[in-house]
Amino acid sequence: MNVNDLTTFGWDEFFEADFKTYAGSGYTAGRVALEHKNLFRVYTQYGEVPAEISGKLRHEAVNRRDLPTVGDWVVIRSRPEGGRVMIHAVLPRRTSFVRKIAGSRTEEQIVGANIDRVFLLTALNQDFSLRRIERYLIVAWESGASPIVILSKSDLCDRVDDRLNEVQAVAPRVPVHAISVVTGRGLDDIAQYFKRGQTVALLGSSGVGKSTLINRLTGNDHLKVQTVREHDDRGRHTTTHRELILLPGGGLVLDTPGMRELQLWDGDQSLQLVFDDIEALAEKCFFGDCRHHDEPRCAVREAVGTGAVDSERYESYEKLQKELKYLARKRDKLSEIVEKKKWKKLSRLASQRARLKRR
Ligand SMILES: Nc1nc2c(ncn2[C@@H]2O[C@H](COP(=O)(O)OP(=O)(O)OP(=O)(O)O)[C@@H](O)[C@H]2O)c(=O)[nH]1
Ligand SMILES: [Mg+2]
Ligand SMILES: [Zn+2]
């Protein structure tokens, strides 16, 4: 594997096209591997180097989306004195995995950029929840990456095939695999997803075995994993920051800290995709704008009544739909504010420049 070749890290014509405007002025490109308190590590053709954001980029950023995040391709320039390189710009993202930040504030967080596939990990113990898988699927589809459901710790479960079927039923058209790093089950099956230059992000609650799987794939114990098993099997948030790791056989994996909650940010269309069984039934309702509450000849309520659609799945669908509607309203308000902020900032920058010119 040639680590001086950026294609090893996923560089291709897509990013090349946007980089053209920078090429030739001493700029090169790199991919953000890690972010920690405003300090970054970036994969470059010269190796992995520490980096920081240029004052201009920080100054001109209106919101977080404008700043680099793990997985981003960035425009960098090394400084003559060596040491840290400067990040001057973020190249447009091909995909971005966005969630709403935890808590009540309406703010987005980009968990990872330029991800090709997301592994949604759920452990085959008390962690197992079909409802959580549905939620994860919406965020995954929305990111532009392809989701794959991974049921981890299959060695702890004696109904693995039942679980596989249950998950497949709520995740139509999504590959589902059961794995165990203890018995080795499924590890050969998932090898197909790790390809040179392709990025797989691992997401799931704390303690499901994300870091353990990556250590297994890299063949070392670079990543810290939870050592003492807790009696209640809940995670301890061992991983504290996101990190993009190059696999010895090619391919990149993004380790992420376990999430306490995955809040939706956007996803109307993905909701339709994840719940296409219910969406298809809704087309058969007598009224075109049926809310499936008390309207006559409602195909959805009928299906829930006969058990053709699981009632918990239907509740989950309604809940997620409400959540998305609420968010959309809040986001609309927010974008108004951001738009105003942007104009203020731009006009301030313009008058600053004009003043400088006059001097
Ligand atoms: N029985 C069993 N235990 C596993 C398996 N994979 C991981 N574990 C154990 O699960 C615990 C948690 O693993 P981690 O890899 O730290 O989990 P994580 O998902 O990275 O957790 P956070 O970093 O906190 O988000 C460790 O004690 C692992 O040894 C498995 O396939 N079977
Ligand atoms: Mg971890
Ligand atoms: Zn209806």
The CA distance from 125 to 128, in Å, is: 6
Cβ atoms of 199 and 244 within 8 Å: the answer is yes
Closest atom, ligand 1, to C-alpha of 229: 27
Place of tokens 């006009």: 347
φ/ψ of residue 278, rounded to 5:
-75, -40
- Tens of pLDDT, residue by residue over 281-327, are 999 999 989 989 889 999 999 999 999 999 999 999 998 888 888 77
Cβ atoms of 87 and 52 within 8 Å: the answer is yes
Q: If you measure from the C-alpha of residue 211 to the centroid of ligand 1, how many angstroms do you get, rounded to a whole number? A: 7
DSSP one-letter code for 263: B
User: According to the 3-state scheme, what is the secondary structure of 302-329?
Assistant: HHHHHCCCCHHHHHHHHHHHHHHHHHHH
Phi-psi region of 199 (alpha: psi -120 to 50; beta: other; left: phi over 0): beta
| pLDDT of 143 | 83
- pLDDT means per 10 residues in the chain (359 residues)? 82 94 88 91 91 92 89 88 86 87 71 94 91 88 90 96 94 94 96 96 92 93 74 68 92 88 72 87 92 91 93 91 81 72 76 77
Listed residue (152, 195, 199) closest to 176, CA to CA: 152
Amino acid at the residue 234: R
Tokens for 42?
Answer: 């970036």
Cβ atoms of 285 and 298 within 8 Å: the answer is yes
- The helix or strand, by DSSP H or E, that contains position 139, with its residue range, turns out to be helix 130-143
Listed residue (7, 118, 146) closest to 73, CA to CA: 7
Q: What ligand has the least distance to the C-alpha of 228?
A: 1
The CA distance from 181 to 155, in Å, is: 9
Q: 3-state class of 108 per DSSP?
A: strand
Q: If you measure from the C-alpha of residue 136 to the centroid of ligand 1, how many angstroms do you get, rounded to a whole number? A: 19
Closest atom, ligand 1, to C-alpha of 258: 25
| Ligand 1 atom 5 nearest Cα | 153
| pLDDT of 97 | 85
Tokens for 7?
Answer: 């294609």
| Ligand 1 atom 10 nearest Cα | 209
| pLDDT of 150 | 97
Place of tokens 């703010």: 107
Distances (CA, A) of 150 to 139, 210, 213, 238, 248: 16, 10, 11, 20, 22
| pLDDT of 37 | 81
Cβ atoms of 270 and 138 within 8 Å: the answer is yes
- Tens of pLDDT, residue by residue over 50-108, are 999 999 999 988 888 899 999 999 999 976 666 789 999 999 999 988 877 766 676 67
Our answer on whether the CB atom of 186 is closer than 6 Å to any ligand 1 atom is no
Closest atom, ligand 1, to C-alpha of 152: 31
Q: 3-state class of 32 per DSSP?
A: strand
> What is this structure's pTM?
0.82
Ion ligand 3 neighbours (CB, 5 A) are 285, 290, 292, 298, 300
| pLDDT of 106 | 66
Q: If you measure from the C-alpha of residue 315 to the centroid of ligand 3, how many angstroms do you get, rounded to a whole number? A: 14
